[in-house]
Chain A
């Protein structure tokens, strides 16, 4: 299958290793990955902060770039949710029937990574090896927008060597919330403190999720506290293998 990767602007800039892992993983599974270089950002930050007009050209841009893709993989549930939850309404508001049509045609081909693996490719065991104690944080968009349910956990349970430990209050927001983390910094910090307490209680080495945005937030707090817990995107765990250990 030819899979077009929408890496997302912040993964591209701040977390290249996640994108590399997605490429490695999908190619290992026998698929062809395509990365349209014209892509930039889905517009989520603008849209959610109230700059809906500024998000419009970014929506159009996304649609133009990916309209002919066979399948689009987004290794970020909040960006996938942006496309799925808000693009139809945004397109609707323009009254541009071609655009509305294009968005409607595009949506069924947009997959978050775990969705792509389990729902589209029918896989749970992706042949990964990751000998670490890991806890999984369910990001809000993965849980309540995309309704991923236990898909990421099903993938993690099949990873050889991985010691999966349940995170208490797994469905509670970590306090990131995009610009919320700076606009309401103190409340966000209080939420983060709760999340960190739960992560530390698991005694895991690694906290994983399907969103680097939440992980950046959780890790930011963990590192400040010198907690000695890493955060790693799900893609990187799934891409790890015995042959390629340490890649």
Chain B
């Protein structure tokens, strides 16, 4: 391994020299005149969230705390899924009966994964998941359960909520995996899940 200590000092020195004559700048004084709080009511926010997901070709199902196992069962049935792998920390009480719950070792062959989320953003149709990076990636299908109270309108609101998790592994998911690299045609599911199901829970 080459000794990069000197390089480090040299680079920092060059930066300091380059900035020597520049006036100091205060981070706190950076103007942030962009929208930082919600402007819509709850119903509009949830509708926008669902609309955005639809535009990403995701499938959205509404449910309540009581009906969530049935909703999950319904999604799995519709997708012809007999098994799934469940993210750590997902409440077992929300899972339906009669499904084969797979282990992490079966990841690459799992038919689908089920996960909750930390926050969701209506404005961009984004779901943010802490950890569970492998299981939300490898299977063909991802089913994500989102509580209505987790949905915020704007990106800045989401970051405010995520601040305590800033150093955690976070994945922002906006629709299924996609590419437009060939003739700008959007194709779902290159390497990540081809299909995204979202159950939106009224709480």
Direct contact between the two chains A and B in their complex (CB within 8 A) = no
